Chain A
Amino acid sequence: MSGFTIFRQFGEVVLGIGIAPLFAGWIAQCRAWLQNRSAPPLLQPYRMLRKLFNKDAALATDASALFRTTPYVLFGTMVLAAAIIPSLGTDLPLARVADAIALIGLFATARVSLALAAMDIGTAFGTLGARREMMIGFLAEPALLMVLFNAFLLFGSTSLSNLVDAYSARRTVIDPSVIFAAIAFLMVLLAENARIPIDNPATHLELTMIHEAMVLEYSARHLALVEWASSLKLFNYACIGFALFLPWGIATHGADGGRALLLAVTALMTKLAIAGAALALIESLSAKVRIFRAPEYLAMAFLLAVLGLLVHLLLGA
């Protein structure tokens, strides 16, 4: 293991932690433009984080240790996921630690710990949010797994780094099955990251909340960590999407050196900028669905993924 790979691993994690709030800020800005509002500055999420870190934490009287440690655990799992996902290069020392299925598991760990923390104080909204979040989780997982199954059938691996290597080594023609899988993945991404058809990140109406209802009791540095972790989660999902469907620019196995890295950083930034704008567009064009329509939405994602699988198995494409 050369010093360069370790440097790249470290750099990738730091970059991920650093630009995740920026990505969230970019989406918010695009949304504001599309909705004819005056946009908040691009650095607004960082200002929020600074403000929150400087405040006094207000903790409910009977909050247990579980409640206080969960923000750190959330942040930890998301940072670890950012270290495993090949956002810049595939030669990562940590890439072998978990394949894509284990990454889903890691995200599930984060989800369950936040849901448990939300139930800890015992408020009506917290438990309601926990229940809804777990419901979205179990509906989204089969669809996500089918997407990965599809990728496995194409390239014979579930490790994201190997997938990227195999994809760039093979050809640049898009398989028809991949298109179905990509749409399914996009739908799951929106649902898992509390984005608009399922949940509204900007809502102030408690009864419709999912993610926000779970974090109502958090304040100050705990809330800052939770918010940072959720922007990292969105960043991670976007990077998984890039690795699965748009792997161009990611430094592949053996492509060491500064130029490849520079190219990878540029490619990542471009992809994030476009993806952010696209997400904002989707969110502006669609309305939030009722919570009981969520199963239909995610069943749709599942069916699309299965269709991709069948296209691959039947047509061999």
Chain B
Amino acid sequence: MNLSSWTSWSIQALSRNDLALLLTCVLSWLILGVVALVRPHSVRFVAHVLFPVGALVGLGVALLGGIALTAGHAVQIVVLPLGLPDLPFHVRLDPLSGFFLLLLGVAGAGISTFAAGYFRSGEGTAPGLLCLQYHIFLASMAAVVLADDAYFFMVAWETMALSSYFLVTSQHRIPEIRRAGFLYLLMAHVGAICILLSFGVLQGGSWQFTFDAMRSARLTPLWASTAFLLALLGFGAKAGLVPMHVWLPEAHPAAPSPVSAMMSGMMLKTAVYGLLRISFDLLHVRFWQWGVLMIALGLFSGLFGAIFAAVQTDMKRLLAYSSIENIGLIFTGIGLAILFEASNLRLFAALALSAALIHALNHALFKSLLFLATGSVLHATKQRSLGKLGGLIRRMPWVASLALVGTLSIAGLPPLNGFVSEWLLLQSFLFTPQVPHAFINMLIPLGAAALALTVALAAYVMVKFYGVIFLGQPREPSLVHAHDANWLERLGLGWLAFGCILIGVLPQLALRAAGAVTGKLLGQSVKLGSPVWWITPIAPEQASYSGLYLLAGIAGVVSVTYLLVRILTHGRVRRTASWDCGYPWQTSRMQDTAEGFGQPIRHMFGAFFRMERDLPSPSDIAPRYRIHIEDRLWRAIYLPIARGVERLADVVSVLQGGRLAIYLLYSFLTLLSLLAFVL
């Protein structure tokens, strides 16, 4: 048997047992976690044996998820002998789950490899316990994507929330981290309640909670909209959509870096998955108003996230706000898809949905990469504050160059992957004037401008991020001792950077994967050009793009120029002190700081912030400059709610008199009223 026929034979064999193999992978993650409890304090065993095996399982999940996207793959359904007596767990594998499993597997493999080199002893939770929580988290995310009934979905969803809560609070001795964890848990549960209610509406009176029953339920427009809004609230809270975003910038910095990477790169995407599952699969109708609402929320989140990221001074908080921005872009894409689909423009809907899906995949790659890179920086320098970093490109060349790939990707620059999805999203915005609603089709082109502003602001933010951490002069003397990442960490970072470059150069691979999903959900997918390195989403006359040609073109011109310059000029170099317009002495404190980068943004977008500033007077002997920036929404929405809850609790606590006789009276009255109700 030759190689190619052997490959196709093995793909067929895998395809037939795809779901069973996937469930084995999920189970083996759980087993890996339990095995860690055998020697919970041995970093060597846990880090160097279990995490690499977990990474391999992740690769397997990615492969099997990818196979579910191939042509001719049938939807597979299994009823597991688990769960409650009359409520068994249903599992289903279709292209939508396949795409998100691919995302989870690819990002998970990179993060687990990095984590193998990252976790050290003596930091909060014991390594074995951490390994258990980590793998339960991974397995539960895969289970969310595979679930085919509301019961199993909610079990997996809650397991995911709880396991990530324990991971966030792994350094639970620090009070801020406990507080961040509490806020996260609270928001996760508010979201979960909304999702549960949404499922309650979706079953449409049949009282069947399998997704199949929900697919066949016919809801009135009012109830369908209620279900959609509840799902948007619930999944939006998980994804960090403004105004439900408050937990994200608290929880991401609190967690260890691989966990931040998983939460931002993968867990937020399960919320995107859930919303897609409900709005495009379980609901039988979609209304254009939903699309407009989502576009508005998405664009606002995008702009909000980018603006707040620009004024952050903590590197992980900066990345957390950048996640809000990217989630905003993904939701905008989904909103556009709903708008187009409801207006019967299915091809454009497929384009917008593909853009959203590819952006989700891209974000999983580059955001994980950057969070992991901050982990390496944190280990090397013990600093998280941007004001105390700088110049690390000379101490940590590996991390710096791999992080550069992530930085350029997330800034949306060709020929890397971030640009591909943003380009597709802009392309789909171009067709909004064809939407048959006056005003809407005039307003939405302005959305494209907001999108362009967000993307360009993201580039500003990423120049700040990379420039302040890796470039310039070290701002603290201790940074001289920073060391580069170890080989496992480099391998994990390198894998994710490779993904960024691959999708950027061959975007058709990602478009093909997204096409399988849109083909299933919308019955239409974006056309693929003939050679694999081109994308021509609608028609070649309309627009086309080739990342490979761009990369080859730039590389070609650069090398020819370099050779010509080398041959034609003498090429002498003199190393001197920096020029800086001849100013005689300069210190590393004179470089632009993170606050300096935030200044124009604070000036221009002042309405978004609540600022407290202490400016020194000119005669101060020991001048201190302090600025504190707060989210207006925190005071406008969350604090009133918290006060309201407290007041309500005060009112209710009147019942709690403390005397036994009164409590007995309550029971007696309840009994009486129940009797009256029954009779």
> Which of A134-142, A173-181, A255-263 sits within the interface?
A134-142
CB <8 Å contact, A119 and B472: yes
> Which of A30-38, A95-103, A270-278 sits within the interface?
A95-103
CB <8 Å contact, A128 and B592: yes
- Give complex CA distance A100, B555 in Å: 21
- Assuming the contacts A94-B553, A112-B411, A156-B542, asked whether A124 and B586 have C-beta atoms less than 8 A apart, the reply is yes
CB <8 Å contact, B573 and A123: no
Q: Which of A75, A139, A143 contacts B561 (CB 8 A)?
A: A75
- Assuming the contacts A98-B545, A122-B473, A313-B442, asked whether A61 and B449 have C-beta atoms less than 8 A apart, the reply is no
CB <8 Å contact, B553 and A131: no
Chain B's nearest CB lies how many Å from the CB of A107? 10
| A221 contact set on B, CB distance < 8 A | 565, 569, 571
> Which of A18-26, A145-153, A239-247 sits within the interface?
A145-153
Could you tell me which residues of chain A, from 31 to 90, have a CB within 8 Å of some CB in chain B? 53-54, 56-62, 64, 66, 69, 72-73, 75-77, 79-80, 83
CB <8 Å contact, A80 and B550: yes
CB <8 Å contact, A57 and B574: yes
| A112 contact set on B, CB distance < 8 A | 408, 411, 413, 459, 462-463
Residue B448 CB within 8 A of the other chain: yes
Residue A309 CB within 8 A of the other chain: yes
Number of B positions contacting A (CB below 8 A): 83
- Give complex CA distance A83, B583 in Å: 41
- Give complex CA distance A145, B572 in Å: 43
The chain A residue with its CB closest to the CB of B431 is A152
Residue A317 CB within 8 A of the other chain: no
CB <8 Å contact, B423 and A101: yes
CB <8 Å contact, B575 and A76: no
> Which of B320-328, B336-344, B365-373, B389-397 sits within the interface?
B389-397
Residue B456 CB within 8 A of the other chain: yes
The chain A residue with its CB closest to the CB of B408 is A112
CB <8 Å contact, B574 and A56: yes
| B391 contact set on A, CB distance < 8 A | 62, 122
Residue B304 CB within 8 A of the other chain: no
Q: Which of A61, A64, A106, A137 contacts B550 (CB 8 A)?
A: A106
| B456 contact set on A, CB distance < 8 A | 108, 137-139, 141-142
Chain B's nearest CB lies how many Å from the CB of A289? 15
- Assuming the contacts A120-B471, A138-B460, asked whether A99 and B544 have C-beta atoms less than 8 A apart, the reply is yes
- Give complex CA distance A122, B592 in Å: 8
- Give complex CA distance A313, B432 in Å: 12
CB <8 Å contact, B433 and A313: yes
| A101 contact set on B, CB distance < 8 A | 423, 426-427, 543
Q: Which of B543, B571, B580 contacts A99 (CB 8 A)?
A: B543
> Which of B49-57, B215-223, B596-604 sits within the interface?
B596-604
| B668 contact set on A, CB distance < 8 A | none
CB <8 Å contact, A131 and B540: no
Residue A162 CB within 8 A of the other chain: yes
- Assuming the contacts A64-B393, A158-B430, A306-B449, asked whether A56 and B573 have C-beta atoms less than 8 A apart, the reply is yes
- Give complex CA distance A53, B565 in Å: 8
Residue B639 CB within 8 A of the other chain: no
CB <8 Å contact, B546 and A105: no
Chain A's nearest CB lies how many Å from the CB of B507? 11
CB <8 Å contact, A72 and B576: no
- Give complex CA distance A98, B391 in Å: 35
- Assuming the contacts A96-B534, A145-B452, asked whether A295 and B604 have C-beta atoms less than 8 A apart, the reply is yes
Residue A109 CB within 8 A of the other chain: yes
Number of A positions contacting B (CB below 8 A): 81
CB <8 Å contact, B558 and A313: no
Could you tell me which residues of chain A, from 269 to 313, have a CB within 8 Å of some CB in chain B? 292, 295, 302, 306, 309-310, 313
Residue A199 CB within 8 A of the other chain: no
Could you tell me which residues of chain B, from 457 to 479, have a CB within 8 Å of some CB in chain A? 457, 459-460, 462-464, 466-468, 471-473
Give the one of B413, B450, B453, B473 with max A CB within 10 A.
B413
- Give complex CA distance A252, B588 in Å: 55
CB <8 Å contact, B426 and A123: no
CB <8 Å contact, B542 and A157: yes
The chain B residue with its CB closest to the CB of A291 is B600
Chain B's nearest CB lies how many Å from the CB of A268? 21
Residue B554 CB within 8 A of the other chain: yes
- Give complex CA distance A121, B579 in Å: 10
- Give complex CA distance A99, B569 in Å: 36
| A64 contact set on B, CB distance < 8 A | 393-394, 471
- Assuming the contacts A64-B394, A142-B452, asked whether A73 and B549 have C-beta atoms less than 8 A apart, the reply is no
CB <8 Å contact, B592 and A60: no
| B499 contact set on A, CB distance < 8 A | none
CB <8 Å contact, A302 and B449: yes
Residue A230 CB within 8 A of the other chain: no
Residue A225 CB within 8 A of the other chain: yes
| A109 contact set on B, CB distance < 8 A | 408, 413-414
Chain A's nearest CB lies how many Å from the CB of B265? 23
The chain A residue with its CB closest to the CB of B426 is A101
| A76 contact set on B, CB distance < 8 A | 553-558, 561
Residue B243 CB within 8 A of the other chain: no
CB <8 Å contact, A134 and B557: no
CB <8 Å contact, A94 and B549: yes
Chain A's nearest CB lies how many Å from the CB of B588? 6
Chain A's nearest CB lies how many Å from the CB of B566? 10
CB <8 Å contact, A124 and B561: no
- Give complex CA distance A98, B419 in Å: 12
Could you tell me which residues of chain B, from 528 to 559, have a CB within 8 Å of some CB in chain A? 534, 540-546, 549-550, 553-558
- Give complex CA distance A272, B408 in Å: 34
CB <8 Å contact, B541 and A157: yes
- Give complex CA distance A309, B429 in Å: 14
| A131 contact set on B, CB distance < 8 A | 464, 592, 596-597, 600
The chain A residue with its CB closest to the CB of B534 is A96
Q: Which of B433, B460, B549, B569 contacts A134 (CB 8 A)?
A: B460
| B549 contact set on A, CB distance < 8 A | 94, 97
Chain B's nearest CB lies how many Å from the CB of A221? 6
CB <8 Å contact, A60 and B573: no
Chain B's nearest CB lies how many Å from the CB of A151? 10
The chain B residue with its CB closest to the CB of A209 is B581
CB <8 Å contact, B472 and A127: yes
- Assuming the contacts A75-B561, A122-B591, A123-B580, asked whether A145 and B460 have C-beta atoms less than 8 A apart, the reply is no
CB <8 Å contact, B390 and A122: yes
List chain A positions with a Cβ less than 8 A from chain B: 53-54, 56-62, 64, 66, 69, 72-73, 75-77, 79-80, 83, 94, 96-99, 101-102, 105-106, 108-109, 111-112, 115-116, 119-128, 130-132, 134-135, 137-139, 141-146, 149, 152-153, 156-159, 162, 206, 216-217, 219, 221, 225, 292, 295, 302, 306, 309-310, 313-314
9 nearest A-B residue pairs (beta carbon): A122-B472, A127-B592, A138-B456, A122-B473, A119-B467, A60-B578, A76-B557, A123-B580, A76-B558
26 A–B contacts from the bound complex (CB under 8 Å)? A57-B574, A59-B573, A60-B577, A61-B576, A62-B473, A64-B393, A69-B558, A72-B561, A79-B557, A79-B561, A99-B544, A99-B545, A109-B408, A116-B467, A124-B590, A127-B467, A127-B472, A127-B592, A130-B467, A131-B464, A131-B600, A134-B463, A158-B427, A217-B578, A217-B580, A313-B441
What would 15 more interface pairs be, CB under 8 Å, given A73-B554, A101-B427?
A: A53-B568, A53-B569, A59-B576, A79-B557, A109-B408, A115-B467, A119-B463, A122-B391, A130-B463, A137-B460, A141-B452, A149-B430, A158-B543, A159-B544, A217-B580
List chain B positions with a Cβ less than 8 A from chain A: 390-391, 393-394, 404, 408, 411-414, 419, 423, 426-427, 430, 433, 441-442, 445-446, 448-450, 452-453, 455-457, 459-460, 462-464, 466-468, 471-473, 534, 540-546, 549-550, 553-558, 561-562, 565, 568-581, 583, 586, 588, 590-592, 596-597, 600, 603-604
